[in-house]
Amino acid sequence: MLKNCSSSFAHPIWSFSSPPFILDVPPLGWSFMDALNGIPPALLNDITITRYVNAAAYVILLYDHLLSLGSEVNLIWPAKNTSAKWLFLFIRYTIPCAITVYTVQLSGLSNIQLSSNFCVWWMSCAAFIGWATVATSNFLILLRLWVIWERNRKLMLWTLGCFLFAQTGGLACAAILVHAMKPQLTWNTELQMCAFIGQAPPVAILWAPGTAFEIVLCAITWWNALNRPRSSNNPLAAAIYRDGFLYFLLLLCLRIINTVLAVAAPRGLIFVAMFPVLCGTTTTTCRLVITLRQVAADHTIPDDRSVDVEEYDQLEQSGVHVEMLRSVGPSTPIRGGW
């Protein structure tokens, strides 16, 4: 039984739920069925919706992972050990592992008895994993957009500054959220879930920096596309434009949904889109990178370098030195490289 607190029969025992759900604590001496009978039907619906939505996202993530595994083995694994490759593998495998742990504690179907310390550790890790995943995927896509923008120095410096500012703000917001969550987290043995006791943490701040960055990046991308149109006969550039725009629009919509739910939705649904968004971000980013790599491999002529070495030297002398840019910079990468 959870710790005692002052409440009455006129006041609902459960204020709302989320993954982890949030509740007001019943007084000592109440049975679980007494507490269960006091749960509003809307609250039970919120728990069910959250579980089904996250289960669907988990299935889609694993299904897409299996579908694209062959292409990953052929195109990514043989590539050189660059930062771009390891960042891709980070988001490719970290999120499925994290979602697996999350699904186990959320489903309530397992007999595993976890502790409140686990809930604190897990939700803290989840907040920072979410931040790192979004930051990694954004940076990989930003590198591709720099290629589309023909490595315009001003655009690169400006967007890199926006990226660093947004991700620093995101890291600070994740730290604030973790600090606010720690005193409220506990493990509920009846429902087999992590739970918040008391008021909801300020989840909306976790999505604000990412939403702002996506809006800025979409605006810059459209502006550059309108002012500097490229030839439509370049397959790789066409794929980057098509998938890049689709990616940013999709990611922006997901980020807006997260922010809106965190601010305006019923309190039991503030977390409903958190991990589905991570699944969608991972799936879309990995699909984009694999597709671009496939297009590059299909249109690469063996022993033919389409980008002059002087182009790299000029880029490094421009003051924007990013190790990954050397790996993904060519508009037509060399076969066997990243």
Highest mean pLDDT (candidates 45-59, 193-207, 215-229, 309-323): 45-59
Q: How far apart are CA 11 and CA 33, in angstroms?
A: 17
Highest mean pLDDT (candidates 5-9, 76-80, 139-143, 160-164): 160-164
Long-range pairs for 237-246 at CB < 8 Å and ≥24 separation?
237/148, 237/331, 239/291, 239/292, 239/295, 240/144, 240/145, 240/147, 240/148, 240/292, 241/148, 243/287, 243/288, 243/291, 243/292, 244/141, 244/144, 244/145, 244/148, 244/288, 245/221
Place of tokens 């980070």: 90
Q: What percent of the chain has pLDDT over 70?
A: 67
Strand, helix or coil for residue 234: coil
Task: Judge contact between 230 and 148, C-beta under 8 A.
Answer: yes
Task: Judge contact between 35 and 221, C-beta under 8 A.
Answer: no
- The 10s digit of each residue's pLDDT in 147-187 is 777 788 888 898 999 999 999 999 999 999 899 888 888 88
- The 10s digit of each residue's pLDDT in 244-285 is 667 677 778 877 887 787 787 776 677 787 778 888 888 888
0.95 surpassed by pTM: no
Q: Lowest mean pLDDT of 45-49, 208-212, 265-269, name the range.
A: 265-269
**Cross-sheet strand order for the sheet of 185-188:** 21-23, 193-197, 185-188
> Which one-letter DSSP state was computed for residue 300?
P
User: What domains, with CATH codes, occur in the chain?
Assistant: 21-298+308-328 (1.20.1070)
Tell me which H or E stretch contains 195: strand 193-197
CA angle 215, 148, 309 (to 5 degrees): 140
The alpha-helical segments, DSSP class H, found in the chain are: 32-37, 41-75, 83-107, 116-148, 153-181, 204-227, 235-264, 274-298, 309-317, 323-328
Give the chain's radius of gyration (CA, Å): 23
Kindly tell me if the per-residue pLDDT of 33 is higher than 70: no
| 20 confidence band (pLDDT: 50, 70, 90) | low
Phi then psi for residue 110, to 5 deg, are: -90, 160
